[in-house]
Amino acid sequence: MSSLNQDIDVRLLTRWLGVQGTKAGLKESKRITVEILGRLATGVGIEPSKKATRQELIDKIVQVANKRIDKSVDELYQMEQDAIIRYFDDIGVEPEELLDLVKRLDLAPGREGRSNLIRFVARELSETGRFKRIASKGKPS
């Protein structure tokens, strides 16, 4: 079992199962100990703290394993907008990573971007709310 972490490619696992699936698998596995999680973390370039909990290790491992942008910010600055869009589409960048990039660059959306973001969030909340209301009809309060 000591070689278990060498057999696990968490980057590939995350591509196959997604963030939530990988987190659930690592959390529920009876064979993956905190020690193995520590070695997995080291394998993806994380220096785990001795006090890190199982869940903290899992969250950090999956966050790093799910990272898809492999170009530096300077390389991205050298690209045209259409090329960046193609690149992000080709690598299947996740929204969380894009949001992290926006935060890291301290970017603020302009009027149009802010308006699109507000419309997107409002639409998602409204649609989810509608489904919840439909699902709750007929159920006792």
Are residues 54 and 84 located together in one domain of the fold?
no
141 part of a folded domain: no
Would the pTM of this model clear 0.75, i.e. be above it?
A: no
The pLDDT of residue 50 is above 90: no
Q: Which domain holds residue 21?
A: 4-65
Residue 78's pLDDT band (cuts 50, 70, 90): very high
Q: Which residue has the higher pLDDT, 69 or 140?
A: 69
What pLDDT does residue 1 have? Answer: 45
Are residues 45 and 89 located together in one domain of the fold?
no
Q: Where are the alpha helices (DSSP H) in 44-110?
A: 54-65, 73-77, 81-91, 95-104
Domain count within the chain:
2
Mean pLDDT, rounded, of the chain: 90
The pLDDT of residue 61 is above 80: yes
CB 68 within 8 A of CB 91: yes
Q: Centre a 10 Å sphere on the Cβ of residue 100 and count the other Cβ atoms it contains.
A: 14
